[in-house]
């Protein structure tokens, strides 16, 4: 499983996901931690925005200890 560090503004959280989860599922988990609706999230991993909610985390280049930055639309 992936133990991801998620940052939104000055807040930080950890989210546990699997490589087979999608960007959309990651957004749902982030919504629980930060109370930001998934449709208002912009997900940045390794300085690249991940726009395809259907893309698997493994395909999106999300690996163990990836740092995820969340921006609000």
What pLDDT is stored for residue 40 in this prediction? 98
Task: Please compute the mean of the pLDDT values over residues 47-61 and round it to a whole number.
Answer: 97
Predicted confidence band of residue 47 (pLDDT cuts 50, 70, 90): very high
Yes or no: say if 43 and 72 are a contact pair by the CB < 8 Å rule.
no
**Mean pLDDT for the chain overall:** 96
Query: pTM for the complete prediction?
Result: 0.94
pLDDT at 65: 85
Q: What percent of the chain has pLDDT over 70?
A: 100
Give me the pLDDT at residue 15, please: 94
How far apart CA 67 and CA 32 sit, in angstroms, is 18
Beta-carbon contacts of 10 under 8 Å, excluding residues fewer than 6 positions away, are none
């Amino acid at each position: 499983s992936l133990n991801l560090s998620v940052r939104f503004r000055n807040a930080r959280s950890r989210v546990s996901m699997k490589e087979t989860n999608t960007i959309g599922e990651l957004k749902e988990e982030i919504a629980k931690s930060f109370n930001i609706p998934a449709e208002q999230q912009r997900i940045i991993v390794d300085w690249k925005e991940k726009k395809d909610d259907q893309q698997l985390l493994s395909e999106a280049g999300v690996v163990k200890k990836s740092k995820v930055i969340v921006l609000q639309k």
